[in-house]
Amino acid sequence: MYQSTTQIRVRYAETDQMNVVYYGNYAQYFEVGRVEAIRQLGYSYKAMEEKGIILPVVEMHAKYLRSASYDELLTIVTTIQKMPTNHEIIFESEIYNENKKLLTKGTVHLYFVNKNNWKKTYMPEELEERLKAFF
């Protein structure tokens, strides 16, 4: 299992008329967690794209438990439970507030895709090598 943690502060523009984070913004928070999880491995989405591989989201689920508000510091815990296989990588995310209360949890499925022909492809070897140490 691989797990990483990153933080993000809620910006005013991310809140709605009820003064809480608009539910659609949690997808962006999940993305921040994914990008930083890969970066913390010593690799990057940018490096993947330069190799001609992109990662479109093919499925996403979220469960909203509590609200977040403007200027709160959120902690995003991103987990890969199993080594990616069959062109797919699955990220699980949990978002906590400053009081360590779980606000939202979600799962995002992505496919490794060749950006030139939009066909499924394999995980870059560099990413695979870095992840192997955790499985």
* Residue 115, token pair as written in the block: 């950006």
Contact 4, 37 (CB under 8 A): yes
Give the residues across from 14 on adjacent strands.
none
Active site residue 71: no
- Per-residue burial over 59-78, b if 16 or more Cβ lie within 10 Å, else e, is eeebeeeebbeeebebbbbb
* CA dihedral for 117, 114, 27, 135, sign (positive or negative): positive
Query: Considering 1, 9, 16, 118, which one is annotated as catalytic?
Result: 16
* Residue 69, token pair as written in the block: 């508000």
Contact 103, 74 (CB under 8 A): yes
List helix spans (H) across 20-77. 25-40, 45-50
Give the residues across from 33 on adjacent strands.
none
Residues with catalytic roles? 16
